[in-house]
Structure 1
Amino acid sequence: MEIELKLLLAPEDVPLLQAHPLLAQNGGQAPQLPQILAMHDIYVDTPDLQLCRHQAGLRMRQVDGRWVQTLKAGGQVSGGLHSRHEWEGELAGPTPDLDALDAAIGRKQPVRALLRQAEIRESLQEVFSTRMQRTVWQLHTPQGDHIECVLDQGVIESGERKVSVSEVELELKEGQASSLFDVALLLLREVPLQLGHMSKAERGYRLALPEQPLKASKAQPVVLNAAMTVEEVFLAIVANCLAQVGANQDGVIQGEDVESLHQMRVGLRRLRSALGMFKSLLALPVELQGELDWLSGALGEARDWDVLAGHTLAQLDGDADAGFGPGALAQLTQAARGQAHEKHALAAQAVASSRYTALMLGLQRWLHGRGWRSSRTPRQLQRLDAGVQGFAQRTLRADQRRLMKRGKRLLHATPQQRHRVRIAAKKTRYATEFFASLLNNGKVLPYVGRLSLLQDELGAMNDVRVADRLLQELPDGQADLQVHAAFIRGYLAARAQGGDNERRMDKAWRRFTSARLPL
């Protein structure tokens, strides 16, 4: 299993990396000159990209006159940490030797059966290639970890299309994976870096298929089993949340992708909910919690303006009972979109910053080092090492009790009280989804569906509260804009108090209260 951390840097920052004291000092051992290699890689696949579709990549690499084939398959990416199965072997030239790979791959690996198919063997062709100058440092930490630090500079080419590459890979040769994050955080002190969530192969395929746009990434199911401990489940859930955050990083940095920003924010909310769920057994360091709050705030402001411009105001378009002219709504929508544009730019700046990179690296360092264990009591450690089933059942029951208590007088509750019910519903839904693979399959979807419906109805009412606040924050200087904003604020408030909204909310609440926990 190959374990590496990928980091991106601007070409103009390469001298900062090369001069970094960590690379010169070599962890306190005798300094060494880096190794410099010229590499040419050829990636092959079928015309319909069967290897790519099965999350595999096959390349032939020429280094100093030698050819080596490498097959990578499976694994995962979380927080920039790439873990993949890898098989290598020498070649006489740039033609793959599939028989040699077949002998090396374990029988249980799905990619083995794939490469045995005659139609795949006979149709492999070059899809893209790379040409890199690779600079390699061998690092040894005081704790005995061996890390290979690689700087790759070059280009990926597919036909007439090409894209430049400037990235650092930290590959664990021996030791603990947490040491990769220690080294990355030290490099980050001197060099602006971003986490890299796409391998060269993924970037090459994207170059070969330019018609495929970057897509927002929704939460993937958390796969658990009853034999796992509470601590193992915590690690799996948080890794899943961070994977969703990281997968939407590039979309947010591009600046205007509304859905990528929304899904990154959802990933953060799921993460914060998971941390709260386990807070009796472990606690996130205060400094990391503060940075999570900073990032959530940066994304939340942009999301609020997106909802106002693209949903709340859009729903009023064509409302014959509104009583305001079409120009008023158009003017307000344009102003809200302007604010959303500014907030997206700030969010993109935040996610592209070294501060964001330090936060993600810090979270991963905390997770891989299990930094909470040294400060836990024997009783807490015992509970962390216990089986997960009891913890899951207690958590879901407690969440449901909290939600039922907060929603007891929902129909006559204040907006603030309804907001607290909405937050409780959201936490209950996330917890149920986290533990779904441990629960009664036939009951999970109906239960989550009723929670989602309740959350939607309460969310619609909360959108009105947010809209009221944002409309008051529109820039001064346009008297007619302020008049339109005041009128629509009043209209939204009056409509929110209407009977239809409360009837839908009450119906959603009654449907939920009749649902049974999927235990």
Structure 2
Amino acid sequence: MSEVELKFILDDSSPSEFWARVKASKLAKGGPTTKTLRSIYLDTPEHALKKAGIALRLRRDGRRWVQTVKTRAELHGGLSQVGEVENPAPGGRACPEAIPDASVRDEVLQCVNGAPLQPVCETVMKRSASELSLEDGTRAELAVDVGQILAGGRSADLREVEIELLEGSPAGLFEIAHVLFSDGGLRFSRLSKAARGYLLAEEGRIDPPLAPRNAEDIAIDTDEIAEHAARDILRECLDQIATNVVVVRKLDDSEGPHQLRIGLRRLRSVFSVYAPVLESPEMGRLNDEARWLGQEVGKLRDLDVVANDIVQREAGTHPDEPGLAALSNSLSQQAKEVRRHLRELLVGTRVQAFLIDLTQFVETRGWLVPQDFGQTERLAEPVAKLAGQALGKRWKRVRKRARGIETLDTEQRHKLRKQLKKLRYAAEFFSSLYPTKRVDPFLKRLKKLQTVLGDLNDAATVKAMLAGPDAGAGDAAAQRAIGWVIGASQARAEHGWTGAKARQRKLEEAHPFWK
């Protein structure tokens, strides 16, 4: 049996407020029923089941005990898909030999290998549940769990919402989420209760520390089809975006907006690279939303860079220029206001709809176009074929933009920078398909040329931000500081640009690793 559900953390609303929203939605057949569920998760002393991706649970539901085994768990963007096998457990005793599915039973017994099973953690949840239905026949169980996770003498509170599919398509779960979380503020639950219990037992907490999330490499095989490779990379982009949305909402760390913008850019690059197989109206719409959100996040990121990196660097190097420190403080205050506005945006309905729709797109094959009869064949093509074509196209564009590199004007340099960034993202997406000794030299030289163009972009950002007609009005020290920073950033960029031709030549000499 397969269990498919959407999971959310109930952050701000109380359970009673949430159920009032459910009632107003008219999706529920009746009021919720409430019961207390006690669940005990077991494993060997060496946690052999956890290492194999298996969760073994004993749950007391009323007067009866049920043994449940969960396997092949996947959790992306709050959507949990897991294999589940249940059987009665008289007296609340675990009995792997009684697992009814032979393949699951054999897997569990092999993992346990005669070792004793012992409790790792326990959950005690007050569950309020009701059945929901949509006009298309989709049926789902809505459950609100409020309670505690206990492990190793520690306890932690958890409030979680689960929407489990009973009948119909998983797409219906996302439609329900849109209705129930129409006011914004939604936060995906990114760990199962079992994973939280293990974390509490081992580290004393039920969530990893909240911190900016960098992009992670995704390994794809040469014989993998294009659709599966695209899905895996999209999942990585989704996780980076969703995590950093929460980071920006809750932390002042300037790396949060930076990684959120990178995640959005990488998402749009995936759309571009995989356009031959993913092209669809929904992909186009999501790409537009990612562009809009990236522009909003970019306002804060640019202020952070100018205030915390560029101006502070000059202030630290030249402490005898008091206007520099004052300028840095002024920009930091502006950044606080922009951060406040961005946080309001990130808990609003538009960003929430984007995250729900992006998850649905990734997890329910939202790229399928019924009228496109050739799409199935393109989706099934080997990803290696698509990789070579995509990288070749982007390399050709870079070489075209780099012609006569020493004579490029500001706009032409900016266009070259954008093409280099697109090539780098594509190279990173497909790098696992090629030998490392061929990929690394190419990427190293590409990044060096990017750095030169990045300094040029920073200089342009500084000038656009600080050279307005009212900048430093009436304040000689402020005007001096602004002129200082603009001049220093321009000089730094131009100095770096003198080596651009040599770096471009080095990149040309690095044989394209995909050929």
TM-score (norm 1): 0.84
Contact 2:184/2:352 (<8 A) preserved: no
| CA deviation after TM superposition for structure 1 residue 231, in Å | 3.5
Q: Aligned with 1:11: secondary structure?
A: coil
| CA deviation after TM superposition for structure 1 residue 217, in Å | 2.5
Q: Which residue of 1 aligns with 2:492?
A: 495
1:260 equivalent in alignment to 2:256: yes
Post-superposition Cα deviations, 1:164-221, rounded to whole Å, max 9, x if no partner, equal 4333211223432222112212223367533322333444455552586323322233
Contact 1:78/1:239 (<8 A) preserved: yes
2:230 counterpart letter in structure 1? F
Query: Residue 390 of structure 1 is aligned with which of 385, 395, 399?
Result: 385
How many residue pairs align between the two structures? 505
Query: Residue 310 of structure 1 is aligned with which of 308, 311, 318?
Result: 308
Post-superposition Cα deviations, 1:423-455, rounded to whole Å, max 9, x if no partner, equal 111111111222223334432232222222222
Query: Residue 436 of structure 1 is aligned with which of 428, 431, 436?
Result: 431
- Aligned-pair identity in percent equals 30
Structure 1 residues 405-444: aligned runs within 5 Å: 405-444=400-439
Q: Which residue of 2 aligns with 1:247?
A: 243
Q: Which residue of 1 aligns with 2:214?
A: 218
Instruction: Tell me, in whole angstroms, the C-alpha distance in 2 between the residues paired with 1:45 and 1:256.
Output: 39
Contact 1:295/1:350 (<8 A) preserved: no
Q: Which residue of 2 aligns with 1:2?
A: 3
Q: Which residue of 2 aligns with 1:277?
A: 273
Post-superposition Cα deviations, 1:134-162, rounded to whole Å, max 9, x if no partner, equal 12223344444432221222333457765
| CA deviation after TM superposition for structure 1 residue 505, in Å | 3.0
Instruction: Tell me, in whole angstroms, the C-alpha distance in 2 between the residues paired with 1:183 and 1:236.
Output: 25
1:116 equivalent in alignment to 2:117: no
Q: Aligned with 1:374: secondary structure?
A: coil
Q: Aligned with 1:20: secondary structure?
A: helix
Tell me how large the CA RMSD over aligned residues is.
3.5
Structure 1 residues 53-68: aligned runs within 5 Å: 57-68=55-66
1:151 equivalent in alignment to 2:139: no
| CA deviation after TM superposition for structure 1 residue 280, in Å | 5.0
Contact 1:43/1:57 (<8 A) preserved: yes
Instruction: Tell me, in whole angstroms, the C-alpha distance in 2 between the residues paired with 1:56 and 1:99.
Output: 15
Change in CA separation of 1:502 and 1:88 when aligned onto 2, cut-off 3 Å: same
TM-score (norm 2): 0.84
Structure 1 residues 285-296: aligned runs within 5 Å: 285=282, 287-296=285-294
Q: Aligned with 2:81: secondary structure?
A: strand
Change in CA separation of 1:192 and 1:349 when aligned onto 2, cut-off 3 Å: closer
1:458 equivalent in alignment to 2:453: yes
| CA deviation after TM superposition for structure 1 residue 396, in Å | 1.0
| CA deviation after TM superposition for structure 1 residue 224, in Å | 2.9
Query: Residue 81 of structure 2 is aligned with which of 65, 80, 83?
Result: 83
Instruction: Tell me, in whole angstroms, the C-alpha distance in 2 between the residues paired with 1:215 and 1:269.
Output: 19
Change in CA separation of 1:245 and 1:50 when aligned onto 2, cut-off 3 Å: farther
Instruction: Tell me, in whole angstroms, the C-alpha distance in 2 between the residues paired with 1:277 and 1:90.
Output: 50
Q: Which residue of 2 aligns with 1:175?
A: 168
Instruction: Tell me, in whole angstroms, the C-alpha distance in 1 between the residues paired with 2:100 and 2:437.
Output: 41
Q: Which residue of 1 aligns with 2:22?
A: 20
Instruction: Tell me, in whole angstroms, the C-alpha distance in 2 between the residues paired with 1:218 and 1:391.
Output: 26
Contact 2:123/2:148 (<8 A) preserved: yes
Post-superposition Cα deviations, 1:326-350, rounded to whole Å, max 9, x if no partner, equal 5333323333333333333333333
1:260 counterpart letter in structure 2? G
Contact 1:299/1:347 (<8 A) preserved: yes
Instruction: Tell me, in whole angstroms, the C-alpha distance in 2 between the residues paired with 1:179 and 1:236.
Output: 22
- Gaps of at least 5 residues in structure 1 are none
1:278 counterpart letter in structure 2? Y
Instruction: Tell me, in whole angstroms, the C-alpha distance in 1 between the residues paired with 2:154 and 2:471.
Output: 44
Q: Aligned with 2:162: secondary structure?
A: strand
1:75 counterpart letter in structure 2? A
Q: Which residue of 1 aligns with 2:132?
A: 139
Query: Residue 322 of structure 2 is aligned with which of 320, 324, 327?
Result: 327
Instruction: Tell me, in whole angstroms, the C-alpha distance in 1 between the residues paired with 2:143 and 2:260.
Output: 29
Q: Which residue of 1 aligns with 2:483?
A: 486
Contact 2:154/2:204 (<8 A) preserved: no
Change in CA separation of 1:468 and 1:137 when aligned onto 2, cut-off 3 Å: same
Contact 1:60/1:94 (<8 A) preserved: yes
Instruction: Tell me, in whole angstroms, the C-alpha distance in 2 between the residues paired with 1:199 and 1:478.
Output: 58
Instruction: Tell me, in whole angstroms, the C-alpha distance in 1 between the residues paired with 2:97 and 2:471.
Output: 68
| CA deviation after TM superposition for structure 1 residue 18, in Å | 4.2
